[in-house]
Structure 1
């Protein structure tokens, strides 16, 4: 893409995040925060800016330490994305605005860069199963029109977005369950997620 890319990353309040992530030694709030920080850290080098939409003060503090801007907004995923999109579009009428899910703890910077370079117009990256969406990009100056939840890949394709399927497995590997996390670990987890999985005292 030739235009500048700005990303919106919605981050739920930690006590509500990752409700399907169940395991004897899994601390859901800690892992949800680690997922978000690893995801955003991997994205920062290849985009102009990241705007997180979150109402959780603990998340805001951690994002500030990364130099990442955050705004309080609606809790619902699509509502938060539309809110963040409006903030970014008001700052640059011609940019590409992207929605990136916050649960990509194995995300590699180079793979995200490759997907962004491959995008032509409004585009989306389906998840590992091919049903959900991990990344949605507007056209330069265009609308984002997020339709996350359920079979979002079908919804985004039906709305005219082009599927981005290429050599970027870490971008497609979001984590909702303990099995997802195990598979993501095979790709190599980000530093914060890996640290969060080390038992205390080990």
Structure 2
């Protein structure tokens, strides 16, 4: 990691993460998939030349141990107020760790298992031109990344219909081409098929292999 962006990745407790995947993955595999998504997302971020550091915000002990081994700094989700509170807490923690420094921060979803480092770099390069900006998800209704330049309040509005919420709050919508992997978050079985079609990271690939031949055939036909 050699660039200037600090990335904040909130990670929910695995037991309550990705509940909409239960129909496709089952309750037993759902937490393992959520962790695999976060691992592959983090690995890609760590390879991005535009990124200088990654801070994970989580209260999950397994996620803390696993993601710290991959090189992330981990801070507890002390607000325990949901995703937006975790993002704000992470941004404060990043800036507090570098007092006096001009730190640009990007809050990134932890469920981007097909993420490509070069595509993330393209998004961050465009984000550098606006004080506060965001990238919409593949569905066109949510947000996968919210970026702020030094000193700017992130005012995150993640959640259902967050694309319109971020637009309404004055954030600039980023429109780079060829960044599908940064847009493809995973909440449902269909989302997972779309991510597999793009090409997921090795940890997600191993986890989805456990879903069985039927799911893999669906993934192949989806691509």
Class of the TM-score when normalised by the shorter of the 2 chains: over 0.9
After TM superposition, the runs of 4+ consecutive aligned structure 1 residues lying more than 4 A away are: none
Which residue does 1:188 correspond to in 2? Answer: 199
Pick closer, same or farther for the CA change 1:5–1:58 going to 2, 3 Å: same
1:142 maps onto 2:144 in alignment: no
SS in 2 for 1:64: helix
1:172 maps onto 2:183 in alignment: yes
Match of 2:126 among 118, 121, 126: 118
Which residue does 1:158 correspond to in 2? Answer: 168
C-alpha distance in structure 2 between counterparts of 1:5 and 1:79, whole Å: 20
Match of 1:85 among 85, 91, 110: 91
C-alpha distance in structure 2 between counterparts of 1:43 and 1:173, whole Å: 15
Question: Which structure 2 segments of 5+ residues have no match?
Answer: 214-223
Deviation at 1:188, TM superposition (A): 0.3
Deviation at 1:185, TM superposition (A): 0.7
1:32-51 pair list within 5 angstroms:
32-46=34-48, 47-51=51-55
Q: How many aligned residue pairs are there?
A: 200
C-alpha distance in structure 2 between counterparts of 1:201 and 1:130, whole Å: 30
Which residue does 2:113 correspond to in 1? Answer: 105
Q: Over aligned residues, Cα RMSD in angstroms?
A: 1.8
Question: Which structure 1 segments of 5+ residues have no match?
Answer: none
What is the TM-score when the length of structure 1 is the normalising length? 0.93
Deviation at 1:197, TM superposition (A): 1.2
- Given that 2:25 and 2:211 are in contact with CA atoms closer than 8 Å, whether structure 1 keeps it comes out as no
Deviation at 1:25, TM superposition (A): 4.5
